[in-house]
Amino acid sequence: MPTVAELAALVGGDCSSDAASVEIHGLAALDAAAAGEISFFSNPRYAADLRTTAASAVLVPHDFVGETPAACIRVDNPSSAFAAITAALLNSPQAPPPGIHPSAVVYQGAEVAPDASVGASAVIMPGAKVGARTVVMAGSYVGADARLGADCLLHPHAVLREQCLLGDRVILHPGVVVGSDGFGYDTRDGRHHKIAQSGIVVVGNDVEIGANTTIDRARFGRTVIGEGTKIDNLVMIAHNVVIGKHCIICAQVGIAGSAQIGNYVVLAGQAGIVGHIKIGDGAIVGAQSGVSNDIEPKSLVVGSPPRPAGQWKRSIVRIDRLGELYDRVKKLEKKLGVG
């Protein structure tokens, strides 16, 4: 097991504690850690947990001045350092060996790289291409003429529909569907008639897509997920949406058709984005916000309709006072003999 001092060296941290030689065998939150485990502190709301933690070591910022019984490892970014130590301490799941499982179905005309892996009951349709070192796990489906780049990982029961494209190092978690039909209908003579969805989805390099997220193929052209974007579980992205590079899309966000999301945008949990609008680079949309108009770059907006965060907070305070103000007005009306 590595010692506190060795882990400090791993993350470029400073540790001058007498406990530097203590061995670390696990990781835990501050309030759940035990002797021999390491945790991290980066949010002041957990200061009380830090003062009482049983962890043997805690990653803290360089300017930390509080109290804790644990050995402190001072680092630039405790959360990032904790992630690095997690990767070092935990054994990564064993990658399946290259090759095609006997129960998998790889149709004639599909191309699977010799060092790729196709798991049990997976299906690779004609014309599909699976890139070098890519892993398609059990029960996953790769549609006709779809493309997977190098070092991709499709967890069990992920679906990549026909003609859709994944870049390199893309991760699809269980239940992800890339390339489902967009939600498009014409209503004629009292009935809803399906509109053919002839486009595709293009996913850039280093994108990760959380479990049970769905990304619709374009009605025509492309639905695009930009390089480095990270998408949480249970997100819905409609047809012809374009998402830029390095965005963060949190759980249960819904993005309607043809919306354009810039680079480095953050959409917090359960935000809803209507179709055909633009959200500028670097904007942050707060949780449960309903966005119906364009958002300027680098804005921080909250609410429905969304407003600048400071304005929204002031509005909430005023709403909370409405009952009090109503009572005051009624008293004034009674005093004045009106109302």
The domain defined by 4-89 carries CATH number 3.40.1390.10: yes
Q: Please spell the DSSP secondary structure of 245-292, one letter per residue.
A: TT-EE-TT-EE-TT-EE-TT-EE-TT-EE-TT-EE-TT-EE-TT-EE-
Residue 243 pairs in a beta bridge with 225, 261
- The pLDDT value recorded for residue 322 is 87
- The pLDDT value recorded for residue 107 is 98
What are the sequence ranges of the domains in the chain? 4-89, 99-311
Residues of the chain with pLDDT > 90: what percent?
83
Rg (CA), the chain: 26
Q: How much is the average pLDDT of 217-227?
A: 98
Main-chain dihedrals φ then ψ at residue 42, nearest 5 degrees:
-140, 0
Closest CA to 78 of 48, 54, 46, 51: 46
- The pLDDT value recorded for residue 211 is 98
Residues of the chain with pLDDT > 70: what percent?
99
pLDDT tens, position by position, 116-168: 999 999 999 999 999 999 999 999 999 999 999 999 999 999 999 999 999 99
- The pLDDT value recorded for residue 318 is 82
Determine if the peptide bond prior to 126 is cis (ω within 30°).
no
Structure tokens at 206: 């280093």
Closest CA to 227 of 180, 140, 302, 167: 167
**CATH domain 99-311 topology:** UDP N-Acetylglucosamine Acyltransferase; domain 1 (2.160.10)
- The pLDDT value recorded for residue 321 is 85
More confident residue, 122 or 95: 122
- The pLDDT value recorded for residue 92 is 58
Give the torsion through C-alpha atoms of 168, 172, 176, 181, to 10 deg.
Answer: 0
Closest CA to 91 of 27, 137, 22: 27
Residue 256 pairs in a beta bridge with none
Q: Which helix (DSSP H) or strand (DSSP E) does residue 319 occupy?
A: helix 309-320
Q: How much is the average pLDDT of 227-252?
A: 98
- The pLDDT value recorded for residue 312 is 77
Mean pLDDT of the chain: 94
In three-state secondary structure terms, 254 is strand
Q: Can you give the pTM of this predicted structure?
A: 0.85
Residue 106 pairs in a beta bridge with 124
Residue 266 pairs in a beta bridge with 248, 284
In three-state secondary structure terms, 179 is strand
From the number of C-beta atoms within 10 Å of its C-beta (0-12, 13-18, 19+), residue 326 rates as: exposed
Structure tokens at 74: 């001072």
Closest CA to 2 of 114, 65, 106, 89: 89
At residue 329, does pLDDT exceed 80? Answer: yes
Q: How much is the average pLDDT of 286-293?
A: 96
- The pLDDT value recorded for residue 339 is 64
Give me the residue label for tokens 């001092």: 5
Per-residue pLDDT band at 1 (split at 50, 70, 90)? confident
* Active site residue ranges: 239
- The pLDDT value recorded for residue 202 is 98
Residue 222 pairs in a beta bridge with 200
CB atoms within 10 A of CB 62: 11
Per-residue pLDDT band at 177 (split at 50, 70, 90)? very high
Residue 155 · residue 212 · CB < 8 Å: no
At residue 58, does pLDDT exceed 80? Answer: yes
In terms of average pLDDT, the best of 92-96, 290-294, 316-320 is 290-294
CA gap 140, 253 in Å, rounded: 24
Per-residue pLDDT band at 89 (split at 50, 70, 90)? confident
pLDDT tens, position by position, 15-54: 877 788 899 999 999 999 999 999 999 999 999 999 999 9
